[in-house]
Amino acid sequence: MRISLIYTQSFLSREAQHVEGFAKECAVVTHHRLMNAPDGSGVIVDPDSKLEEELIVRPTSETIIWNTYRDWISSYRDLPLLINQWCNVVRWEMRTRLFLRTAEFLWQEGHTAHATAQEAIDETRLMLDVYAEFAEKWMAMPVIKGVKTPNERFAGAVDTYCIEALMQDGKALQAGTSHFLGQNFAKAFDVKFLSENNVEDYVWATSWGVSTRLIGGLIMTHSDDEGLVIPPKLAPTQVVIVPIPKPSPEIGEAADKIMRELRAKGITVKYDTDMKKRPGFKFAEYEMRGIPVRLAIGERDLANNQVEVARRDTKEKSSQPLEGIADYVAQLLEDIQQNLFQRACDYRAEHITAVDNFDDFQAVLDGKGGFVSAHWDGTTETELKIKELTKATIRCIPLDNPLEDGACVLTGKPSTQRVLFARAY
């Protein structure tokens, strides 16, 4: 579907909680024309082109989507309505950071409408699981599934579910969110349906999304000082073959055979035939690009019917027989995928620290970093005070959180469970 990039301020304001939540991030268009400066110094805004009503550059799509859904939905037969799209949105970040926080970003967002609250909640949880599965099985990035506190919810949502990841510098990254919107947007835009029992009601809604932030998460989860480390399931080129010291007919023949065998297994492979670059330069370049497996073949290797195999994740090298090399590499790619995930899981496990007093809370944040598991009294006032004092926020209340009586780490008031705090991007 095609949706507008800009719309009027009054249009956005139809869902009050929504506009309040995005007010500080909205880019606002106030004039529609430029002119040459009278003193010839350049181009300035034409003061006579001020708009009667200011326009908002779309920070998210709920308002325009639900205005459209009003024309699409009238009966239970129209439900569920499940729409997914890729688009660019603009949020005016005070401090931009490549991939993670940019003024304009590309993302995938879904918007669904349902006949019952339970159907909408099920859809919200389903998409959370989809995001978590992609993060863990494809990106090899372990995540914690949880629910946001009321203060951290998406503007206009009843509940916001999230997946939280931990980066190598000890900071948390919100990697994806899925929102149960209740009937808030349906009521704001008068989206009703006639049920099977001929009863008119407002529809129940969800929205969910991930963005190019995942690229930043991938880089910061696995990469090192030599460059990218890309999990094999996401690597555009999984294997590169480098001739030593340069291409020759004999090496090319062996490389062709290996490539046919690898491609037959669905493995992407490249043979580097560049005559200008030395092998050492090529090795460094492919390490920087994060290609999971590198094969090096020289005349001596051919004489010994072997090939040198280097894996990007551990930088280990070994000599393997040419016979059966495709099977070996296929298994190695699976091992690398699993090792990257396990390595990230181990790092996260080492950086989840339970604390019971505020001094330890601050010491862990300033020293060790990572997630701090601590009791919280459940009030927004305490949550904001902790953020003010430490710059740490409640990343989520884990979905599998065990109940545990305790005292709030700041106020000492009773608490029934721990939540995860962290400094975050």
Beta strand 414-415 with 406-407 is: antiparallel
The distance from CA 398 to its chain's CA centroid, rounded to whole angstroms, is 18
Q: Does residue 109 lie in a domain region?
A: yes
Q: Is the separation of the CB atoms in 404 and 418 below 8 Å?
A: yes
Q: Does residue 246 lie in a domain region?
A: yes
Tokens coding 132: 């978590």
Q: Do residue 76 and residue 147 come from a single domain?
A: yes
Q: Do residue 403 and residue 356 come from a single domain?
A: yes
Place of tokens 């009863």: 199
Q: Do residue 85 and residue 205 come from a single domain?
A: yes
Q: Do residue 256 and residue 160 come from a single domain?
A: no
Q: Is the separation of the CB atoms in 70 and 189 below 8 Å?
A: yes
CATH label of the domain that carries residue 243? 3.40.50.800
Tokens coding 303: 């004489």
Please say which residue of 197, 222, 247 terminates a domain.
Answer: 222
Which pLDDT belongs to residue 32?
Answer: 93
Rounded distance between C-alpha atoms, residue 215 and residue 217, angstroms: 5
Provide the residue range defining the domain that includes 67: 60-222
Q: Do residue 123 and residue 211 come from a single domain?
A: yes
Which pLDDT belongs to residue 374?
Answer: 98
DSSP designation for 424: B
CATH label of the domain that carries residue 93? 3.30.930.10
Q: Do residue 67 and residue 200 come from a single domain?
A: yes
Q: Do residue 244 and residue 361 come from a single domain?
A: no
Q: Does residue 339 lie in a domain region?
A: no
Mean pLDDT by 10 residues, the chain (425 residues): 78 76 88 92 94 92 92 98 94 88 93 98 98 98 98 95 98 98 95 97 98 97 97 98 96 98 98 96 98 98 98 98 98 98 98 98 98 98 98 97 96 98 97
Q: Do residue 164 and residue 272 come from a single domain?
A: no
Q: Do residue 71 and residue 206 come from a single domain?
A: yes
Q: Cβ of 39: how many Cβ atoms within 10 Å?
A: 7
Rounded distance between C-alpha atoms, residue 317 and residue 333, angstroms: 14
Residues 6+ away with beta carbon under 8 Å from 184: 15, 17, 18, 156, 157, 158, 205
Tokens coding 400: 């599998």
Which pLDDT belongs to residue 2?
Answer: 63
Please say which residue of 332, 366, 392 terminates a domain.
Answer: 332
Place of tokens 């070994």: 318
Please say which residue of 194, 222, 250 terminates a domain.
Answer: 222
Q: Does residue 207 lie in a domain region?
A: yes
Q: Does residue 35 lie in a domain region?
A: no
Q: Does residue 254 lie in a domain region?
A: yes
Q: Is the pTM of this model over 0.75?
A: yes
Rounded distance between C-alpha atoms, residue 245 and residue 298, angstroms: 7
DSSP per-residue letters across 348-415: HHHTEEE-SSHHHHHHHHHTT-SEEEEE--S-HHHHHHHHHHHS-EEEEEETTPPP--EE-TTT--EE
pLDDT averaged over the chain? 95
CATH label of the domain that carries residue 360? 3.30.110.30
Q: Does residue 123 lie in a domain region?
A: yes
Helix (H) or strand (E) holding 55: strand 50-57
Number of domains in the chain: 3
Q: Do residue 305 and residue 389 come from a single domain?
A: no
Q: Do residue 74 and residue 215 come from a single domain?
A: yes
Which pLDDT belongs to residue 23?
Answer: 81
C-alpha Rg value of the chain to the nearest Å? 27
Rounded distance between C-alpha atoms, residue 242 and residue 372, angstroms: 46
Number of helical H runs and strand E runs in the chain: 12, 24
Q: Do residue 86 and residue 201 come from a single domain?
A: yes
Rounded distance between C-alpha atoms, residue 91 and residue 78, angstroms: 33
Q: Does residue 41 lie in a domain region?
A: no
Which pLDDT belongs to residue 10?
Answer: 85
**pLDDT per position as a tens digit, 276-292:** 999 999 999 999 999 99
Rounded distance between C-alpha atoms, residue 344 and residue 141, angstroms: 7
Rounded distance between C-alpha atoms, residue 24 and residue 332, angstroms: 48
